[in-house]
Amino acid sequence: MSLRPLTLAEPTDDNRFNSIDPLDGRYYDAEIAKYLSEKTRVLTQAHIEAALAYGLAEFGICSQEVAEQIDAASRRIRVEDVAEEEKTTRHDVKAIVNTIKKELPEAAQPYVHFGATSYDIVSTAMSLQLRTAVQELVLPRLQNLQQTLATLAECYADTVQIGRTHGQHAVPITFGYFLATYVQRLGDSMQALDELAGALKGKFSGAVGTYNAISVFVDDPLAFEKAVLGYVGLQPAPAATQIVPAEGYIRLLDELAIAAGVMANLSHDMRNLQRSEIGEVRERFEPGQTGSSTMAHKRNPWNFENVIGMWKQVTAQVVNANLNISSEHQRDLTDSSSARFYTSSFALVASMAKRLNDVMSKIEVDEEAMQRNLYLTKGAIAAEPLYLLLEKYGHTTAHEASKALAHEAMEQNVSLYEVASQAENIASYWVKFTEKERELIRSPETHYTGLAAQKTRYICQRSLKSA
């Protein structure tokens, strides 16, 4: 008996299952598609054609009635009809232009795309689409995540947790402060994204950026360009070729990768805190949810791992974007196909933010485990304040003395306080310690957390206020 040959998929009515990109399949999100789909790209370009028509009317090249007709027609076109037209034109912008013209009376048709080159439309539409996606999709989702983290951070502002550097116990912090650092980092990236998206430029300067075509019809091409772009809220690129310079998009994509990296960093940390031997947090499992197909006891941190995986893809797109900085002379087409993948980075960051917000809003915190882990080193984490106090009272090799006592405590499995308080080599200094100073060594988990709680509340309240 042999296995039957593999059956290849036939298209289904549900396009999610016909997709190649997981963003259009497994990770499909209707809200993301609203802003970043191919359909939205086409409709945005049609919208720019309408803005051009209003600019033509403003400068007396066509009537206001014609501009309104073109605007209405640009809103009626179907992306399916554009795709069908492109089979003939073999040109995506020309297909949009022809499809709009079919919706117009003959007298209005010449004014569609009048005086424009394709990338007056494409570059301007890309800037508008990406700016809108950042402002209305990406930033709101990041803000939701930031506020969830801020709420959690304030709740656990005083919950002591061991701080870890190089994977080793360092000194105490609070779980709230751990989260607050991400509140701040996300806020910084959100501000940068807002500014960079707002700085995206458009153009109506023609085939090589020198306003050749429109100069035939208007006396002030710069004013014309500004007027057209004003209808969609964009500023002209100070200097363009056939295309808007790539740097604005690249900087925005770079910052998207930074935001994704911050989310991945948080996910790495939360994933590690779920290790069986640490167990300080847990992803909440829903009824019927499976952790492993074979190891039934497992509760895998799969949401955090998913976020980390998406971050890798966002970072990879940064390389693609930076390679588009070079376009030969006044332009070539080497960036055309690769730039179509820009939207995936915006979609991925939006998806990451939503997933991370969902899981963080339901996270389970084990404060007992945090306490248990604090005591694993028997107070050796007080080695830092011990050395500082010894130095304060004149010990010339305080760091070495503190290190030796901490190692002795760990080897004997007793507290650092017990060893230090009985150590003859530091006795003359120990007697000078105040009771408050000795408490730092006896109970660092309660007396050596610095400004963790105060900084947590400051960061979170500031973020809530700015929101």
Question: Active-site positions?
Answer: 166, 292
Judge residue 169's burial from the number of C-beta atoms within 10 Å of its C-beta, 0-12 exposed, 13-18 middle, 19 or more buried. middle
> Token pair for residue 353?
């933010």
**CB-CB contact of 202 with 232 (8 Å):** yes
Q: 334-339 long-range CB contacts below 8 Å, 24 or more apart?
A: 335/243, 335/246, 339/126, 339/249
26: how many CB neighbours lie within 10 A of its CB? 10
CA-to-CA separations, 301 to 162, 179, 357, 361, in angstroms, rounded: 21, 18, 14, 14
- C-alpha dihedral over 85, 87, 88, 89, to 10 degrees? 80
> Token pair for residue 140?
């709101």
Task: For residue 415, give the nearest of 375, 446, 447 by alpha carbon.
Answer: 375
* Separation of first and last alpha carbons in the chain: 65
> Token pair for residue 13?
């009515």
**CB-CB contact of 311 with 352 (8 Å):** yes
Q: What secondary structure letter does DSSP report for 202?
A: E
How are beta strands 235-236 and 201-202 bridged, if at all?
A: parallel
Task: For residue 203, give the nearest of 234, 249, 248 by alpha carbon.
Answer: 234
Q: Give the DSSP per-residue string, 392-453.
A: HTT-TTHHHHHHHHHHHHHHHTS-HHHHHHH-GGGHHHHTT--HHHHHHHH-HHHH--TTHH
Kindly state the helix (H) or strand (E) to which residue 201 belongs, with its residue range.
strand 201-202
Which residue has 């993301």 as its token pair?
Answer: 32
Which residue has 């002030």 as its token pair?
Answer: 220
Amino acid at 295: M
